[in-house]
Structure 1
């Protein structure tokens, strides 16, 4: 009788572990990856804005300096 209970507990433990892995993987796909993707897109836009402002600043400085011929 005791060995049968051990088998039942082992099977239940395996089922619980499989369900927990499924939930963690689905949460990873549903919640974590979109957050990372949105952050990466936002970070790219910030870098693009910084590079544009740096280019504009450089252009303004070069235009302000008188060119000698």
Structure 2
């Protein structure tokens, strides 16, 4: 199992956190999601999930994964 950390732009409240968590949880291979609202950091745990799938799930929730 591995953890990956993403920065998500646009989250401002608990509803945002719930939406992002719900969408990412549906990605195949994801077993856990933790969101730190003040920093916008989202830690995703699991095996076999890809960055593109997580970014797509975040977009479905209405937010954007920030890439460096």
* Same-fold status (TM-score > 0.5): no
Larger radius of gyration: 1
Return the structure number with greater relative CO, CA threshold 8 A, min gap 6. 2
With normalisation by structure 2, the TM-score equals 0.23
Query: Which structure dedicates a bigger proportion of its chain to strand?
Result: 2
Q: If the length of structure 1 is used for normalisation, what is the TM-score?
A: 0.23
More helix by share: 1
